[in-house]
């Protein structure tokens, strides 16, 4: 196919705009480039592999459909990271407003990240378990960088941290669409940092985050053990803080429990307001389920919601999942979503003790967590650097498998049972005094599905 004419491109964009969520469109399509790439193929250049993966996921099908609609056939579409040297289209930062979207010169640039449209303050159910965190998030969104800076929200998985963080972003942007808000996961920060180093693009990377009015980094515990990224984030943090800009962070753990977090970074995290989200009470769980059912237009009796709320106690994502399962099953089997059906579905769906774990499984998960190899746990020479990881592993194997001390010994390089017992006792003793160890054990148990 020959290169697209301006009009053809505009047509494609307007089809995309009509099909996509406005946020997705604004973020990813405004500066979309579509280049001819030989017979029946088009190339969409992207700035880096992360954007490419996003574009694949979000745009492949809609783009193919749009081509089909206009030309009657879908060409091959190749999302490709631009070569070094060629000017990057730098998605998603919009370069110039497209002619079809007349906007004033002061129009705010579209945010270059995705927010979940449902994660707003008005869909967040408040309860005693999250009241402080919720109030702090609202306060920060109303007056960024005046009260709590940083705002550090921590709590277990599925308790609403991401929802609150994105709620702040929505609220800040609703008040001031021109506010420079940046929301990203810590994993994206780390990956972006590594990418920027590899490609010699640190300057752009830094500018992007250090110029934000409000920088929101989700799951900051991902910095655990990553020295270089910690250092980079430390400087980002300082720059923003000094300039009087807001930083908001979330973590699965309290800051002091994040493994090998540098002291100077820890002290920064403790400078502002530390809000903990606890597992929700039964009443809050019930209210969340009611909110979810109403939002979806589901008619569900109160006793069914009550039952679901009593089955899933800690993780709100799982709580919502349980209700969705009940409703899905009711629809499939053409039955009413009553208590009887809910019991049938959930008793089966939530096996109480979970599948049994094996020693090798635990070894694998623990080794990966500490960045070791399983063979290091089994080596006849026990090096000092692996001894902590190995002892935690022995402890977890004892706690979560039926293996005897001798059996355990055979999985750990043929050690005898006294050595195993020593490791177990040592970890048991340290657990009461070392919050970092407690956190490691908790996270590992979470990964093993034992929490
Ligand atoms: P986390 O980031 O803490 O792991 P999320 O913010 O992803 O948890 O929340 C998991 C799910 O539970 C999301 O769908 C979120 O909307 C929902 N959720 C959590 N807390 C609440 C709440 N208080 N009110 C309504 N929905 C909630
Ligand atoms: Mg989250």
Atom number of ligand 1 nearest to Cα 291: 25
Q: Torsions phi, psi of 425, nearest 5?
A: -60, -40
pLDDT value of residue 106? 44
Regarding beta strands 41-46 and 35-36, do their DSSP bridges make them parallel or antiparallel, or are they unpaired? antiparallel
Confidence (pLDDT) at 319: 94
Contact 160, 130 (CB under 8 A): yes
Most confident of 82-86, 303-307, 310-314, 372-376: 303-307
For residue range 213-271, list pLDDT tens digits in order. Answer: 999 999 999 999 999 999 999 999 999 999 999 999 999 999 999 988 999 999 999 99
Q: What percent of the chain has pLDDT over 90?
A: 55
Query: Quick one: DSSP state of residue 221?
Result: G
Query: pLDDT, tens digit, for every residue of 166-205?
Result: 999 999 999 998 999 999 999 999 999 999 999 999 999 9
Measured by CA distance, the residue closest to atom 6 of ligand 1 is 160
| pLDDT reported for residue 45 | 86
Query: Which ligand gives the minimal distance to the CA of 129?
Result: 1
Between CA 281 and CA 287, with CA 283 as vertex, the angle to 5 degrees is 115
In the 8-state DSSP scheme, what is residue 412?
T
Q: Which of 67-76, 110-119, 266-275 has the highest mean pLDDT?
A: 266-275
Residue nearest to ligand 1 atom 21, measured at CA: 160
Mean pLDDT of 15-24: 83
User: Ligand 1: which atom is nearest the Cα of residue 125?
Assistant: 24
Report which protein residue has its CA nearest ligand 1's atom 20. Answer: 160
**CATH for the stretch 121-277:** 3.40.50.300
Mutate-to-test residue for ligand 1 from 118, 159, 160, 320, highest number of ligand atoms within 8 A of CB: 160
Query: For residue 365, what are the contacts with CB-CB under 8 A and spacing of at least 6?
Result: 444, 447, 448
Distance 172 CA to ligand 2 centre (A): 19
For the chain, first and last CA: distance in Å? 55
Mean pLDDT is highest, among 79-83, 318-322, 344-348, for 318-322
- Predicted confidence at residue 103, as pLDDT, reads 40
Residue 82, CA atoms < 13 Å, CB-side half-sphere: 17
Which range (77-86, 152-161, 223-232, 391-400) has the least confidence? Answer: 77-86
Q: Ligand 1, atom 4: nearest CA belongs to which residue?
A: 158
Cis peptide before 370 (omega within 30 of 0): no
Centre of ligand 2 to C-alpha 218, Å, is 7
**Nearest ligand by distance to the CA of 277:** 1
pLDDT > 70 in the chain, percent: 90
Residues in the ligand 1 pocket, defined by CB under 6 Å = 119, 123-125, 130, 157-163, 288, 291, 316-317, 320
58 or 144, higher pLDDT: 144
CATH number of 359-449: 1.10.1750.10
DSSP for residue 123: G
Nearest ligand for residue 123 CA = 1
Q: The whole model's pTM is what?
A: 0.60
CA–centroid distance, residue 419 to ligand 2 (Å) = 39
HSE (side-chain half, CA atoms, 13 Å) at 427 = 24
Class of domain 6-81: alpha beta
* CA 184 to ligand 1 centroid distance, Å: 17
Whether pLDDT at 27 is above 80: no
Q: Which pLDDT score, from 0 to 100, does residue 384 have?
A: 78
Query: Does domain 293-349 correspond to CATH entry 1.20.140?
Result: no
Q: Torsion angle of alpha carbons 55, 58, 59, 62, nearest 10°?
A: 180
> What is the 401 CA–ligand 1 centroid distance (Å)?
32
- Within 8 A by CB and 6+ apart from 269, the residues are 150, 152, 220, 249, 255, 261
Q: How many CA atoms lie within 13 A of 336 on its CB side?
A: 7
Structure tokens at 291: 């909110």
Domain locations in the chain as residue ranges:
6-81, 121-277, 293-349, 359-449
Q: Are 152 and 272 in contact (CB under 8 A)?
A: yes
413: its two tokens: 């390089």
Q: Is 218 left (phi over 0), alpha (psi -120 to 50) or beta?
A: beta
- pLDDT for 93: 36
Dist CA 413 CA 420 (whole Å): 11
pLDDT in tens, 195-228: 999 999 999 999 999 999 999 999 999 999 999 9
């Amino acid at each position: 196919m020959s290169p697209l004419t301006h009009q053809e491109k505009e047509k494609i964009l307007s089809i995309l705009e009509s099909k996509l969520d406005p946020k997705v469109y604004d973020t990813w399509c405004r500066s979309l480039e579509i280049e001819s790439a030989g017979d029946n193929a088009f190339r969409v250049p992207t700035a880096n592999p992360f954007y490419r993966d996003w574009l694949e996921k979000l745009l492949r099908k809609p783009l193919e459909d749009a081509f089909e609609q206009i030309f009657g056939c879908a060409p091959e579409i190749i999302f490709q990271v631009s070569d070094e040297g060629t000017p990057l289209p730098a998605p998603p930062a919009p370069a110039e407003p497209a002619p079809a979207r007349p906007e004033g010169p002061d129009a705010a640039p579209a945010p270059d990240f995705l927010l979940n449209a449902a994660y707003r303050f008005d869909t967040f159910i408040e309860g005693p378990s999250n009241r402080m965190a919720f109030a702090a998030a609202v306060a920060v969104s109303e007056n960024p960088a005046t009260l709590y800076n940083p705002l550090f929200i921590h709590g277990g998985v599925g308790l609403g941290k991401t929802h609150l963080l994105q709620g702040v972003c929505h609220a800040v942007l609703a008040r001031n669409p021109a506010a420079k808000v940046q929301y990203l996961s810590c994993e994206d920060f780390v990956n972006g940092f590594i990418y920027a180093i590899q490609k010699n693009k640190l300057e752009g990377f830094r500018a992007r985050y250090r110029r934000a009015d409000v920088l929101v980094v989700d799951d900051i515990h991902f910095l655990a053990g990553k020295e270089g990224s910690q250092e980079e984030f430390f400087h980002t943090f300082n720059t923003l803080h000094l300039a009087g800009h807001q930083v908001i962070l979330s973590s699965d753990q309290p800051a002091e429990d994040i493994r090998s977090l540098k002291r100077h970074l820890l002290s920064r995290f403790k400078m502002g307001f530390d809000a903990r989200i606890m597992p929700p009470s039964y009443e809050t769980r019930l209210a969340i389920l009611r909110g979810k059912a109403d939002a979806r237009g589901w008619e569900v009796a109160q006793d069914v919601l009550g039952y679901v709320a009593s089955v899933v106690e800690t993780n709100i994502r799982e709580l919502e999942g349980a209700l969705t399962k009940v409703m899905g099953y009711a629809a499939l089997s053409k039955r009413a979503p009553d208590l009887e059906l809910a019991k049938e579905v959930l008793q089966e769906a939530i096996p109480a003790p979970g599948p049994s774990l094996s020693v090798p499984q635990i070894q694998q998960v623990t080794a990966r967590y500490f960045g070791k190899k399983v063979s290091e746990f089994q080596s006849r020479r026990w090096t000092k650097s692996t001894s902590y990881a190995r002892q935690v592993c022995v402890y977890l194997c004892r706690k979560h498998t039926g293996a005897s001390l001798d059996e355990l010994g055979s999985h750990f390089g043929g050690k005898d049972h006294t050595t195993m017992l020593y490791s177990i006792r040592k970890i048991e003793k340290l657990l009461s005094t070392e919050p970092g160890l407690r956190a490691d054990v908790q996270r590992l148990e979470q990964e093993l599905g034992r929490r």
